[in-house]
Amino acid sequence: MQEAKALSSVMRVWKFTAGHTSGRGFADDFLKNGRVAIGYIYNKGLSHVKTIHDLPKLRNRQNRQLSDSGQRQMWDFLSMEKGNIVALKLKHEIVAIGIVTTGKLEYDDSPLESPHFRYEYNYPNRKEVFWLTKFKSRPIYEIELAKSFRYPQDTIHEITEPSKSTILAWIISYRDSQATVEEKKLIEQLGAVKTEEEKLPKRILTTPEIAEKEYLAMKKVIEYEETVEHRKVVPVYRLSVGYDLESRSNDDVRYIEVKSRLGSYPVILTETELKSASKFKDNYYLYVLTSNDQILRLQNPSKLKRRRLAHIVWELEDWMTQAEIIRI
């Protein structure tokens, strides 16, 4: 389990539902052809989506705009990168676990192999997956995983602890007991795979531990925005847009930068983050998770005094006295 937890700090793991019918949905096709797929987008699918801001332009078959949930799932699908893990869910079981082999989006409107869906509801947006195990051996029963894994109804959903470590522990056990030479090689590369798409925005992340704290802080902020303030949140932290999250209500959009800080550790903004704060003004928020698990919120940090630490890095001064405590 120690190795699984260490791997968890640098890995992304996705739950992917193979179909919500009483039968196998697309599971047979996914396993046979080494892929996952998502649908309902036509005219070249997701191939023209370059940034999060392209999502509202998407239309379904009836030429209607996708719901917020649909847009979020499409973005999650695009976010699946080389070396990510996919846990394939069918009804109430995890029937296979695989590794994304390229992360490249493929558009193919030929029908998937399934008796449970009609041709017009094919899934044209596809990504390659190398499946480590198939139907002959179910790796994990869903009941063994946390509620955060079992209950989300989305086709695709990124999972966190403790389900994340459970799945990674299974992969490590599989590597040490059943894996072929090819599979062992793939598994041993996990956590070391880097692609151009994986580059994070310019931020101060000096160690995997700091990166993990920032990631967990984002999860807490998303939970607060969605459960307390009842807003829809879309993560955009893998884009160089100067903030981590877009939080939407019927009335406005919040552009949120998230920091995780211990004690009086300084809060630092990059040049890109500061420019975004200056652009969006009172719609830009800085959320800081402290060591005692408080969440502090500061509106428009660009108005604060600051001092330059490096060419593209600024330290905010007196930010704690200006911040609002929104969770104790």
Per-residue pLDDT at 203 exceeds 90: no
- Structure confidence at residue 20 as a pLDDT band (50, 70, 90): low
Task: Give the whole-number percent of the chain exceeding pLDDT 70.
Answer: 79
Tell me the helices (H) and strands (E) count for the chain, helix number first. Answer: 9, 17
Q: Which fold has domain 2-195?
A: ph1033 like fold (3.10.590)
pLDDT of residue 258: 92
Residue 9: half-sphere exposure toward Cβ, Cα within 13 Å:
14
Per-residue pLDDT at 1 exceeds 80: no
d(CA 45, CA 42): 5
Judge if pTM exceeds 0.75: no
Delimit the CATH 3.40.1350.10 region(s) of the chain: 208-327
Delimit the CATH 3.10.590.10 region(s) of the chain: 2-195
The residue-averaged pLDDT of 78-90 equals 88
Architecture (CATH level 2) of domain 208-327: 3-Layer(aba) Sandwich (3.40)
- Greater pLDDT, 90 or 201: 90
Q: What are phi and psi of 82, to 5 degrees?
A: -55, 130
- Greater pLDDT, 92 or 188: 188
Per-residue pLDDT at 206 exceeds 50: no
Please check whether residue 115 is in contact with residue 27, taking contact to mean a CB–CB distance below 8 angstroms. Answer: no
Residue 255's closest CA among 284, 289, 233, 278? 284
pLDDT tens track for 301-311: 998 888 876 55
- Greater pLDDT, 61 or 102: 102
Strand partners, 285: 256, 299
The residue-averaged pLDDT of 223-229 equals 92
The residue-averaged pLDDT of 189-214 equals 49
In the three-class reduction of DSSP (H, G, I as helix; E, B as strand; rest coil), residue 247 is classed as: strand
The residue-averaged pLDDT of 7-28 equals 75
- Greater pLDDT, 205 or 243: 243
Query: Minimum mean pLDDT among 190-204, 254-268, 270-284: which range?
Result: 190-204
